[in-house]
Structure 1
């Protein structure tokens, strides 16, 4: 089915399509494992244990599709897992540029009770980084039959971290990212909104015009700033308590925007502020790194939350973030994972993963 035909059908309500919320039941989570030829080559010893911990925690609850460069060597890293957890990992040998599965992985919609994996173009966040290998991963997974359902290849640049869905027709996003001229320069805001609605069966788009983290290569991905949660709730990064911080004005304006948003029933959202994460810098060139507690991953019966523990003050912020996220997910286990090594490459926990609905 062509994209044009899909758009016409969507506008005429001839099909029923929706993008499930992340908190709906999942089959598995995809990750792409770091290797010597990726951007992690200088930090492999630091980041590999974090990847292992993420996979270990996910396999307590569901399966993992682990894209890796060397299957045999990667399997050895998980030899200490118990048999049940190890068998929940599907190791797939595919080459990659990097490891940000949230942005090169497929986004799965439900259409007339069937799954369709949408394979958008990934161009390294607006041609900032080489991504030609990453952009092929979904097609290879389909060719090798790891993706059983239909894969729809789409000539439109879109990353999974740039949109949030409530599973009921609402998409939350940022204008800074979706309107970036390095992604889809030939389309206006109105055209992009129409396309997003058609691709995901959405009936409304909530745009945030403010909010961004220094050191973020994604041009303000929504999953670094504000997250849709069950029961018309949004967890978001609160402005820093230090009003002299360079983020303060932008994050304060974002908070005011969130306060003005309305649910589909025209009510205000329940807002849960997350503490502004501790300031972190890359030690080689003193670049500020985009630490954020909003970059959590929702899985079956649990939520994995990035933490940045390196001193007591930071641990206090970590604990506050965990307790705030627990309010949004009272029936799930909240699990902190130290992601200080991960933000060295300007992303965090959610950025590394892509869930697939059941």
Structure 2
């Protein structure tokens, strides 16, 4: 039987991929790099951070201190570590951790992703756990676990014909239960963010912050294009039940004001936070709702520091803080010299 550790459980390290000139960050590369530096430095205050980068010696110059920072060389397509990195499970029968290397196709073939898809195998020696190649298109941002038998996801993403057209809902549920050892799949059929390339990844909309609690995006502006869809999503969340038949506690996060770049609305979302050991890294956007989101998280995340990080540059490429990071549970370490 497999166990899929939740993000709010103890971790070993966080992985990210540093922006380089051949990535989509090229038009504002230094601004993007500074955001990644801020994320890495924040992580390193609490636990190690593995930085995958094209030029180790050069990237090291961006950091005043290298304490808790580990660098490894690899030439990636882009920097969305959440979606091209391995996912971690525990094989309870064998009492060992496993790394599941799913197929990454650039969110259904939207972007070149061959090098990103090959990354985990190329750097496999850095991990202390064995890796399995899984013949399934799946991104880490598309699934959320509560560490108690439930996996939360969206139908728009996991049942999209651009991912695994050979699998219907029943087939996908069977595959998810097999790979992650969960007892039930909780589907959301509503909710989206304009400008999102992922086909509504769950980590932009609703997140488990503990076994019993889901934090989600709520839109109160009836004139906003998201109002109806997010209202329907909220009703779906209220109707969800855990494996014991109990409803989840729900905590609403505010919707950002409409944010644009090159006349395109961007998917700014406070739900794209990263939980680490003793802290939460919260994306903020120089938006009037930033302080409200910070206050909500300070109240909800008992015993964890809340670290706001300006992610205004990240959303220009249609993702945010959680999208560029991947956490690894305490059972999986790093083999470093």
- When the two structures are superposed, what TM-score results if normalisation uses the length of structure 2? 0.96
**2-side partners of 1:324 and 1:123: how far apart?**
35
**2-side partners of 1:33 and 1:345: how far apart?**
14
**2-side partners of 1:137 and 1:277: how far apart?**
33
The alignment's C-alpha RMSD in Å is 0.9
Q: 1:34 aligns with which of 19, 32, 37?
A: 19
**2-side partners of 1:54 and 1:96: how far apart?**
19
**2-side partners of 1:268 and 1:323: how far apart?**
24
What are the superposed Cα offsets for residues 208-260 of structure 1, whole Å, 9 maximum, x if unpaired? 00000000000000000000111401100002x22021111100000010111
Taking the TM superposition and a 5 Å limit, the aligned residue runs for 1:227-246 are 227-239=207-219, 241-246=220-225
Question: Which runs of 5 or more structure 1 residues have no equivalent in the other structure?
Answer: 1-15
**2-side partners of 1:234 and 1:322: how far apart?**
16
SS where residue 76 of structure 2 aligns?
coil
Taking the TM superposition and a 5 Å limit, the aligned residue runs for 1:99-118 are 99-112=79-92, 113-118=95-100
Stretch deviating more after TM superposition (181-190 or 214-223) = 181-190
CA contact (8 A) 1:71 1:91 kept: yes
Question: Which runs of 5 or more structure 2 residues have no equivalent in the other structure?
Answer: 331-337
CA contact (8 A) 1:274 1:294 kept: yes
Distance apart, 1:267 and its partner CA: 1.7
**2-side partners of 1:229 and 1:236: how far apart?**
10
What are the superposed Cα offsets for residues 178-221 of structure 1, whole Å, 9 maximum, x if unpaired? 01111101111110110001000011000000000000000000
Residue 50 (structure 1) aligned with residue 35 (structure 2): yes
**1-side partners of 2:205 and 2:214: how far apart?**
10
Residue 138 (structure 1) aligned with residue 120 (structure 2): yes
Paired position in structure 2 for 1:298:
275
Residues matched between the structures, number? 328
SS where residue 183 of structure 1 aligns?
coil
CA contact (8 A) 2:272 2:323 kept: yes
Taking the TM superposition and a 5 Å limit, the aligned residue runs for 1:160-171 are 160-171=140-151
**2-side partners of 1:265 and 1:327: how far apart?**
26
Taking the TM superposition and a 5 Å limit, the aligned residue runs for 1:1-358 are 16-78=1-63, 80-81=64-65, 86-112=66-92, 113-142=95-124, 145-239=125-219, 241-282=220-261, 284=262, 286-309=263-286, 314-315=287-288, 317-358=289-330
Question: Which ranges of 4 or more aligned residues in structure 1 deviate by more than 2 Å?
Answer: none
**1-side partners of 2:55 and 2:257: how far apart?**
35
CA contact (8 A) 1:278 1:308 kept: no
SS where residue 291 of structure 1 aligns?
coil
SS where residue 186 of structure 1 aligns?
coil
Distance apart, 1:265 and its partner CA: 2.1
